[in-house]
């Protein structure tokens, strides 16, 4: 064999080997999770007032879900479902007395770590124990409780209301033994920029051949709310459109009528108060959008963008005046429906109406990365939807909140039962997407109610509803 032929053969073998390596390369996974963002607060989801150019661009280049669901609308329970890939009644943190995970669970970061991923947790920590317990090798910009001695009483939010959330929370190291109150105690107007900085730093540290999982948790737009620096005056009350389903008061006690979140707006709700809330709420989301843009740009600059699966979502939505409510402790679409955008290798571009759960992100990312789903995971992967091989996922979705709410949603119908209030609601989502017309009691729909009630009851029995056990 001549010299040149020999060199070409060596080069072909090397190139073929590189091709195989690239084909087997697992994608990096960047999970950006916000807190309390309702889905209609992104331009790509139809909001013409708010400015979210970076999320809009992410949605344009990826897959935007319109019916992604948080089944339990409270921060720590929703996050526990995502970490475990199990429903709250199955993982031990269930909103009805269960406060500790079962001992036999393999957590999301554990599964990725076992498959060779570097894992890092950034931002708000709202789960029992420490991130290391759940498979995170490192933390960066970790924000959690334990800094009460630095908290100064008397602090208020943008409208002068006493601060009731995140009092004494501080940045800290992985063990919590080192705390950094100099970065701020409690939520500060610029806190989401600090999480953006920490995420960018983590991404740059992980440059290399080994894939990584960076889990970023912003605190916004959860209260207490403050206008971020530079956003003063960007949004004006008079420009804020009231929610289509705005009410002065909710018609009955849904199980949290005078809870902490609800006390943050005066009763009855007024258009002026809701518009003022929306002005600040939009400002915080706009500021988070800026951080998303910065993080994506860092991926691009480091040459990692094309091999990174980016996921953006919220742990649940928020009422912000809809149905006479302010908080998230309800089963209406503005709360259980969440924004979900995915972009990256193997992700089809477009819009998906598939009904999916947030807890299903765990097995979905495993499947997309070619990793076996651990046996403890009961959530169902929707990787086929992400890859464009399927259009639907679930025929029905279920939701729950303490002992006061149970819900089933199909493509057309939503049925909510309030066990403590002795009430129920039926909405035809095809003609009434804002859930304004309760159809329970309509004779022509008695069979629909009966069918949905039966299916909801079967799900409660199958998944082990604690309320049925108590009774």
pLDDT per position as a tens digit, 407-441: 999 999 999 999 999 999 999 999 999 999 999 99
**What pLDDT does residue 470 have?**
61
Structural domains in the chain?
26-394 (3.40.720.10)
Q: Please name the residues in contact with 291: beta carbons below 8 A apart, sequence gap of 6 or more.
A: 192, 193, 195, 196, 199, 218
Mode of pairing for the β-strands spanning 356-357 and 138-144:
unpaired
In the chain, % of residues over pLDDT 70: 94
Copy the structure tokens of residue 98: 């269960």
pLDDT at res. 24: 63
**Eight-class DSSP state of 306:** G
For range 32-52, the mean pLDDT: 98
What band does 237 get if pLDDT is binned at 50, 70 and 90?
Answer: very high
**Which of 382, 367, 395, 398 shows the shortest CA–CA distance to 462?**
398
Residues 125-128: contacts with CB within 8 Å, 24+ apart?
125/217, 126/75, 126/76, 126/79, 126/217, 127/76, 127/79, 127/80, 127/83, 128/93, 128/99, 128/100, 128/101
Three-state secondary structure call for residue 457: helix
| Interval 436-454 mean pLDDT | 98
Residue-averaged pLDDT of the chain = 93
Mean pLDDT, to the nearest integer, of 275-290? 98
Q: How confident is the model at residue 6 (pLDDT cuts 50, 70, 90)?
A: very low
**Strand pairing class (350-352; 356-357):** unpaired
Q: How confident is the model at residue 23 (pLDDT cuts 50, 70, 90)?
A: very low
Predicted structure pTM score: 0.94
User: Who contacts 106 (Cβ-Cβ below 8 Å, separation ≥6)?
Assistant: 374, 375, 376, 377
């Amino acid at each position: 064999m001549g010299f040149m032929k020999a060199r070409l053969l060596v080069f072909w073998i090397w190139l073929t080997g590189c091709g195989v390596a690239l084909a087997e390369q697992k994608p990096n996974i960047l999970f950006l999770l916000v807190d309390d963002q309702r889905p209609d607060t992104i331009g790509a989801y139809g909001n013409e007032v708010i400015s979210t150019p970076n999320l809009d661009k992410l949605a344009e280049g990826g897959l935007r879900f319109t019916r992604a669901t948080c089944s339990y609308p409270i921060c720590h329970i929703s996050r526990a479902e995502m970490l475990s890939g199990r429903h709250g009644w199955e993982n031990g943190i269930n909103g009805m007395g269960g406060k500790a995970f079962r001992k036999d669970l393999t957590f999301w970061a554990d599964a990725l770590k076992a498959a060779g991923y570097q894992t890092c947790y950034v931002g708000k920590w709202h789960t029992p124990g420490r991130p290391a317990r759940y498979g995170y090798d490192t933390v960066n910009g970790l924000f959690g409780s334990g800094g009460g001695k630095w908290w100064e009483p008397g602090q208020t939010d943008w409208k002068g209301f006493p601060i009731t959330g995140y009092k004494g929370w501080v940045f800290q190291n992985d063990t919590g033994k080192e705390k950094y109150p100099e970065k701020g105690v409690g939520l500060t107007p610029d806190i989401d920029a600090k999480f953006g900085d920490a995420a960018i730093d983590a991404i740059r540290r992980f440059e290399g051949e080994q894939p990584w999982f960076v889990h970023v948790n912003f605190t916004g737009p959860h209260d207490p709310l403050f206008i971020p620096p530079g956003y003063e005056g960007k949004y004006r009350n008079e420009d804020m459109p009231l929610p289509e389903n705005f009410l002065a008061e909710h018609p009955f006690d849904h199980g949290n009528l005078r809870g902490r979140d609800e006390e943050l707006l005066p009763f009855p709700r007024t258009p002026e108060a809701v518009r003022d809330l929306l002005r600040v709420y939009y400002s915080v989301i706009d500021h988070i959008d800026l951080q998303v843009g910065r993080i994506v740009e860092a991926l691009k600059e480091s040459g990692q963008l094309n091999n990174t699966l980016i996921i953006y979502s919220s742990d649940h939505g928020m009422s912000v005046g809809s149905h006479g409510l302010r908080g998230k402790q309800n089963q209406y679409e503005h709360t259980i429906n969440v924004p979900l955008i995915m972009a990256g290798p193997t992700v089809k571009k477009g819009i998906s109406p598939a009904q999916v759960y947030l807890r299903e992100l765990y097995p979905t990312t495993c499947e997309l990365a070619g990793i076996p789903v651990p046996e403890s995971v009961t959530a169902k992967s929707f990787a086929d939807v992400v890859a464009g091989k399927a259009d639907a996922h679930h025929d029905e979705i279920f939701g729950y909140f303490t002992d006061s709410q149970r819900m089933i949603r199909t493509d057309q119908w939503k049925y909510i039962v309030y066990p403590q209030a002795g009430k129920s609601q039926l909405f035809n989502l095809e003609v009434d997407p804002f859930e304004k017309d309760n159809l329970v009691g309509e004779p022509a729909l008695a069979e629909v109610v009966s069918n949905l009630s039966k299916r909801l009851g079967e799900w409660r029995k199958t998944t082990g509803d604690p309320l049925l056990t108590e009774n």
